[in-house]
Amino acid sequence: MSPGKTKRTSTDPKMEKENLTGIEAGEESESGDDSQRVAPFVADNVREKIWLNIFDKLAPEDKVTFLTTSPEWHKCAAPNRTLVFFNEIASMLLETLPKHAFLQCRQVCRQWTKELDEHYNSHPDHLRFAFEKERILDGPPIPQYITRFETVSQVRKFMEENRSHPGNPFPGRIIYLRWKDGSIWKPDALQLFQGYWKGVGEMLLQFGRHIHFAIIHIFERDMETYLLERFEIVRNYLMNLPHLKRLKFLGPSRARLDEVREFLGTNSLPQLADLETLELCGISPFWMDAVLNFCTVPSKIKRLCFDLVAGDYGANAPNLHDMLQKFTNLEALELTNLTEDYERFGHLRSLGKLTHLSLGFCEGEIREAKPFFEVLEPFGRTLTHLKIKCGLAISNSVRTPINLPHLERLHIAEYKGNLDPLLQLTSLTFLRIDKCIQRTQDKKIKSAIDVYGFEKRMYQSNIWKVMPTLQTIIIRKRYDRQTYEKLGNK
């Protein structure tokens, strides 16, 4: 064998062609050493489908490098770059584009429609309550593309335009149902009402399987007659919403135990197996209990909201403690218009995964802080976000222990007294007080934290030293009218 030549054992001409090196093609090695001869990596020996599959799995920052590595790779990936890169920008478009522009993007091609719908429908904001996010920290919520049905003509128009639609006609998979087709005092009000809900029923029968979030307001305050008929309407609609993940239900507030029992004696509400978030607003406790017992799979419910209705429902009315006990996987709970019975809420030790909590009482009500925080102690191991939609009063003569070591965000509607008890919140990063009163008519309340004027000397304030984990603070100072007049006259 002559020097500078390699021995080839293959007799396959194709193999010989693929194994040719630059040296074999006539280029002499400077050193003449066979060990320095390395065959180049030939990209076009691999099928285009494989390269596209590899390209799809690359990180976004690596895709540009891939395209510029060789002409062959650029050629096979370039025609698909719009579709491939779209997956990376879909979430950005979802959060930044106006509604009309977002909907126009869905019409570009099927791939864009698929990607945008997937990002939109899987976004966690759809299942979260508003109090779980702070706009100043987390940014605005994603827009909701709600398809509203409020009149008979809206329902008819929708069905005419989409009767032959082959798939999902709801861009956001959200519907809002509330009859607003005229005054309830009109002679034909009941006929219009029944015609509207009949049309909605036909629409849900055809397209209900595509809906993930439904807001149903069927029980108007002044039209709570014919309750049994309306119970039947609700039952039929829920039967045609098998894939609901979130349900907001409004009314009826006056349903009595005997009326609910009469309906359930011959009917049963359907179980919604995919339901994760449930909001029950302005509902009597009897109907609320029926929805919780029949429609939910307790282990799958992660978020509950109760806007309770004040009233005397008798000794047989189910209480809040009993209704909540079985929802052991709750992560977020919002309760509004609580009564004195809220003290039993602290006995719900079954809520061992609760991280977000919002509590509200009657508007303008002030609660003593010490017993309030004692009720929350059982949730100290898991609670990270707390919103208090009422006033809290701190007594200077009574120590106020707060055993919430993992609390990161605290939002209080009104706070009266010194802020010293909040120093116990050693994990707090966000504090918001909408109305903070640290003065009485006679004197300023002594406190280790002074929020009056600290904005003008923010970096000289001691607040960052005494609360070292704090990153964001929003405190709006208010005086009661008498105190304000007295201070203004000085």
Judged against a pLDDT cut of 70, whether residue 115 lies above it is answered with no
5 or 168: which leads in pLDDT: 168
What does the pLDDT average to over 279-298?
90
Which residue among 64, 94, 122 closes a domain? Answer: 122
Paired residues of 31 in beta bridges: none
The pLDDT of residue 155 is: 93
Tokens matching residue 133: 């996010």
Residues 464 and 438 in one domain: yes
Distances (CA, A) of 424 to 103, 406, 421, 476, 482: 48, 11, 6, 21, 32
196: in domain? yes
Residue 157 and residue 292 in one domain: yes
Asked if the structure places residue 468 within a domain, the reply is yes
Kindly state whether residue 411 falls inside one of the protein's structural domains: yes
The token pair at 77 is: 């990936």
**CA end-to-end span of the chain:** 111
Domain boundary among 290, 316, 346: 346
Provide the number of structural domains found in the chain. 3
Look-up: residue for tokens 């522009």?
101
> Is the omega angle on the peptide bond into residue 252 within 30 degrees of 0, that is, cis?
yes
What's the distance, CA 229 to chain centroid? 33
In a domain, 22, yes or no: no
The answer on 239 and 172 residing in a single domain is yes
Any idea what the CATH number is for the domain that residue 263 is in?
3.80.10
Which pLDDT belongs to residue 317? 75
Cβ atoms within 10 Å, residue 405: 12
- CB–CB of 320/292 below 8 Å? no
Q: Are 409 and 485 in a shared domain?
A: yes
Residue 397 resides in a domain: yes
Which of 40-44, 213-217, 429-433 comes out lowest in average pLDDT?
40-44
Lowest pLDDT segment from 222-236, 252-266, 388-402, 424-438:
222-236
> Does 213 reside within a domain?
yes
Same domain? For 245 and 365 the reply is: no
Q: Do 132 and 385 meet the contact criterion of CB atoms below 8 Å apart?
A: yes
- Percent helix, strand, coil in the chain, to 5, is 40, 15, 40
Residue 136 lies in a domain: no
Q: Do both 380 and 295 map to the same domain?
A: no
The verdict on residue 155 lying in a domain is yes
- As a whole number of angstroms, the distance between CA 114 and CA 102 comes to 13
Together in a domain, 172 and 213 = yes
Q: Which of 316, 346, 376 is the last residue of a domain?
A: 346
Domain residues for the domain of 434 are: 361-490
Predicted local distance difference test score (pLDDT) of residue 4: 41
